[in-house]
Amino acid sequence: MTNATRIDGKAKAAELSAVISAETEKLLQEHNLKPGLAVVIVGEDPASQVYVRNKKRMAEACGFHSEQHTLAGNANQDEVLKLIADLNDDTAIHGILVQLPLPGHLDEHAITQSILPSKDVDGFHYINIGKLTAGDTADAFVPCTPAGCMLMIEDHLGSDLSGKNAVVIGRSNIVGKPMASLLLAANATVTITHSRTNDLPGVVAAADIVVAAVGRPNMVKGNWIKPGAVVIDVGINRIDVEVDGETKSKLTGDVDYDAVSKIAAAVTPVPGGVGPMTIIMLMSNTLRSAKLSLATGVSIGSS
């Protein structure tokens, strides 16, 4: 049997980046409007610093107005909320992203919910979540990772997934639940699985589409996969491996890529699969927010 198609998220993101850059230029020429993205980071978490740097670089590459607001790790709740309130009121900013996780003394829920729904380009506000669940996404933002996953699935299976069985492994608000909503909207029959699911390998084996977002390295084995399935690996796990007698750190997904690629029709690698798509969908949401602000003349969701 031939190996699965390697779904190249980097190449797909580059393709989308070119489209977003062209639309951004058009928006500037025709309306003198530049999409504005503000990223808020609290503290010095090294992984968060890398993610924020990548988002800023991509925003600038797309021609956006980009701001980074860095607060000390001991910043209090009121300081963070004040900054978000200021960004909510700033007409040059169309998207606000708070880099997670936040330091433990801060109330993550209160902070993410304080962002105007019209500027919530991460898609975490309950108004955006509710609209996605109801299938009413005309002026709502879909979380970036599931949105990117959906585009990669559509490239292989088309936009109508009628008759396809999809299994989502993981039930987080950031990936699992919104992913299920998107798959349902595309007419797939969807099962959400998690740590309490009985016979997980058996459930996954019936799936034409598998989305793994559980945070456990190489958990999904080759013998779990239905021949010809499309497998999307959202996991990013850092593990230690031995190379020439030295212990080195490497990134791996939730899927045993080598084994699964012998069975599946298509599978995303880690790194280079879902990651680049998550960042480009953030840019897509920010561009959309700018266009929506132009159409309405006011911030949607403001009162």
Give residue 14's identity as a one-letter amino acid code: A
Catalytic residue among 12, 99, 120, 254: 99
Beta bridge partners of 250: 239
| 77 in catalytic set | no
Q: What sections of the chain are H helices per DSSP?
A: 9-31, 46-61, 77-89, 108-113, 126-134, 144-157, 176-185, 200-204, 257-260, 274-296
Nearest 5 degrees, angle CA 80-CA 50-CA 93?
45
| 99 in catalytic set | yes
Catalytic residue among 12, 120, 122, 177: 122
* CB distance 123 to 141 below 8 Å: yes
Residue 69: closest CA among 35, 96, 105, 46: 96
Question: Which strands form 36-42's sheet, in the order they lie side by side?
Answer: 65-71, 36-42, 95-98
Catalytic residue among 55, 119, 131, 226: 55
Burial of 1 per CB tally in 10 Å (0-12, 13-18, 19+): exposed
**What are φ and ψ of residue 15, in 5° steps?**
-60, -45
Q: Given CA atoms 166, 192, 194, 241 in this order, what sign does their dihedral have?
A: positive
Q: Give the relative orientation of helices 274-296 and 144-157 as an angle to the nearest 10 degrees.
A: 110
User: Coil, strand, or helix at residue 132?
Assistant: helix
| 55 in catalytic set | yes
- Residue positions annotated with a catalytic role: 55, 99, 122
